[in-house]
């Protein structure tokens, strides 16, 4: 068995900030959990993915929530990881035993955080409360109205409660009242699009700035003019020049000179990332990170021969893939404000053309959606190990940018 694929899903707190990622392991590009024994999955998938070396990059410096069976805990696989980098997710149990309690105490005493998944509200699990950091409740199987009694029993132990399969904003708000601390699913499953919402001036300015990066050659004077309207952008541009000029003394006398000094490639990257950050709120921070990783990974995949015709469009298409969620405006209305090439428009609006196929493929690969992508990988002549490495590199790149 050759394990080469990892997906992830963000976990949010009550303020919509990302507190960690659940890592989803696969053994093939089929993008679904392998039909193998869970013990084998836990051990082989972790080892064969060399996850110890890349977990920090994949989880962008946040804690990684990883499933461990009892057998893998006995075999001490969690000790492969720094206790600060992971949360042990306990899976595969339907009852509490003395052996299980002893195992959890072992990891608790070593400082590891432990989460109990598939919590069913049964009082038998109360015996584990002293050793737990988190209870994960699947809303498809548990009525959250039953939770208040559990919250009362949890108080002495400071155990957090996380809701899985949160599909709507109404659910999200009602779960806060019930007592949930963390949430999974809301941002990716049900992005809210508000029809006809007007753009704020700052957002219009940022879209204009991104649009300028499509010109070839770049008009440095025009980019400098737009940047000059925002103090933070101006300061960031000068800091960028300073970073690039390490070891040499550069005297910048104007923003136009600063943009010219960076050169086209670095300036395009700088402009895209800074403009995207200006469109980001606390609620959409995770979405913007996803967009950055999508753009970077798309650009890496586009270096392969199958996508040679759209190579120049890959990064910006991935970067804009979540723009309607960030702005709250339908993508078809957003693109009207930007001078996009037709292949980019078609990819964003209809997911059509080779660029649209690349965008779909990249998003499915990153988010771990249950869609069979093996046939696509074969038709595009993509190597799964190379893809995994490119995904890790894109995640590390994003972590360094957003640190």
- Within 10 angstroms of residue 301's Cβ, the number of other Cβ atoms is 24
Give the C-alpha separation, 293 to 289, whole Å. 6
pLDDT by residue for the chain (403 residues), tens only, comes to: 333 456 677 888 888 788 898 877 654 444 444 444 555 445 444 544 444 456 777 787 889 898 888 888 887 878 878 899 899 999 888 889 999 999 999 999 999 999 998 888 889 999 999 999 999 988 888 887 888 888 888 888 989 999 888 877 677 777 878 888 998 875 443 333 323 344 454 566 677 777 777 677 788 888 888 777 666 666 677 767 766 655 555 666 667 888 888 888 778 777 776 666 666 655 556 777 888 889 889 999 998 888 888 888 888 788 888 877 776 667 887 777 666 778 888 999 999 999 999 998 898 888 766 556 777 777 788 888 888 889 889 988 887 766 5
Q: How far apart are CA 354 and CA 374, in angstroms?
A: 17
Peptide bond into 217 cis (omega under 30): yes
| C-beta of residue 58 within 8 angstroms of C-beta of residue 52 | no
CB atoms within 10 A of CB 358: 27
- Phi and psi of 97, rounded to 5°? -125, 160
> CA–CA separation, 17 vs 62, rounded Å?
11
Q: What is the pLDDT of residue 358?
A: 93
Distance from the first to the final alpha carbon of the chain: 35
Cα distance between residue 174 and residue 191, in whole Å: 18
Q: Please, what are the domains in the chain?
A: 5-189 (3.20.20.450), 201-402 (1.10.3210.10)
Could you give the CA distance from residue 135 to residue 117 in angstroms, rounded to a whole number? 6
Integer CA distances (angstroms), 369 to 6, 12, 32, 33, 199, in order:
11, 19, 8, 11, 31
Cβ-based neighbour number of residue 286 at 10 Å: 21
- Cβ atoms of 49 and 3 within 8 Å: the answer is yes
Please give the Cα distance from 279 to 223 (Å, whole number). Answer: 18
What span, in angstroms and rounded, lies between the C-alpha atoms of 45 and 342? 41
pTM: 0.61
CB of 87 closer than 8 Å to CB of 64: yes
Extended beta strands in 69-223, E state = 86-90, 113-116, 134-138, 160-164, 182-183
Q: Are the beta carbons of 65 and 89 closer than 8 angstroms?
A: yes
Residue with tokens 């809210």: 192
Burial label for 214, CB within 10 Å (0-12, 13-18, 19+), is: middle
């Amino acid at each position: 068995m050759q394990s080469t694929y990892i997906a992830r899903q963000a976990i949010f707190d009550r303020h919509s900030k990302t507190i960690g990622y659940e890592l989803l392991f696969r053994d093939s590009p089929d993008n679904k959990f392998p039909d193998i024994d869970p013990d084998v999955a836990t051990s082989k998938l972790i080892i064969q993915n060399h996850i110890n070396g890349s977990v920090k990059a994949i989880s962008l410096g946040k804690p990684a929530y990883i499933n461990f069976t009892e057998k893998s805990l006995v075999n001490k696989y969690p000790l492969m990881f720094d206790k600060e980098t992971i949360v042990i997710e306990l899976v595969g149990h339907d009852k509490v035993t003395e052996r299980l309690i002893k195992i959890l105490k072992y990891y608790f005493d070593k400082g590891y955080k432990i989460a109990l998944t598939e919590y069913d509200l049964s009082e038998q699990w109360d015996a584990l409360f002293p050793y737990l950091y988190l209870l994960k409740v699947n809303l498809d199987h548990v009525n959250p109205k039953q939770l208040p009694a559990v919250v009362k029993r949890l108080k002495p132990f400071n155990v957090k409660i996380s809701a899985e399969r949160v599909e709507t904003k109404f659910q999200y708000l009602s779960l806060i009242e019930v007592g949930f601390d963390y949430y999974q699913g809301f941002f990716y499953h049900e992005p809210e699009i508000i029809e006809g919402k007007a753009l704020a001036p700052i957002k219009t300015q940022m879209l204009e700035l991104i649009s300028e990066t499509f010109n070839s050659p770049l008009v440095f004077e025009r980019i400098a003019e737009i940047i000059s309207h925002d103090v933070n952008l101006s300061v960031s541009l000068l800091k960028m020049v300073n970073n690039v000029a390490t070891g040499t003394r550069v005297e910048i006398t104007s923003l136009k000179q600063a943009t010219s000094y960076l050169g086209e490639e670095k300036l395009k990257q700088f402009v895209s990332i800074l403009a995207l950050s200006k469109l980001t709120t606390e609620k959409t921070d995770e979405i913007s990170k996803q967009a950055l990783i999508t753009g970077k990974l798309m650009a890496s995949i586009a270096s392969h021969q199958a996508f040679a015709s759209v190579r120049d469009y890959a990064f910006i298409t991935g970067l804009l893939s979540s723009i309607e969620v960030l702005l709250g405006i339908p993508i078809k209305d957003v693109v009207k404000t930007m001078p996009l090439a037709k292949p980019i428009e078609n990819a964003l609006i209809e997911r059509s053309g080779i660029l649209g196929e690349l965008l779909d493929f990249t998003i499915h690969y990153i988010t771990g959606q249950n869609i069979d992508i093996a046939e696509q990988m074969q038709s595009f002549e993509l190597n799964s190990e190379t893809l995994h490495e490119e995904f890790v590199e894109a995640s590390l790149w994003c972590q360094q940018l957003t640190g």
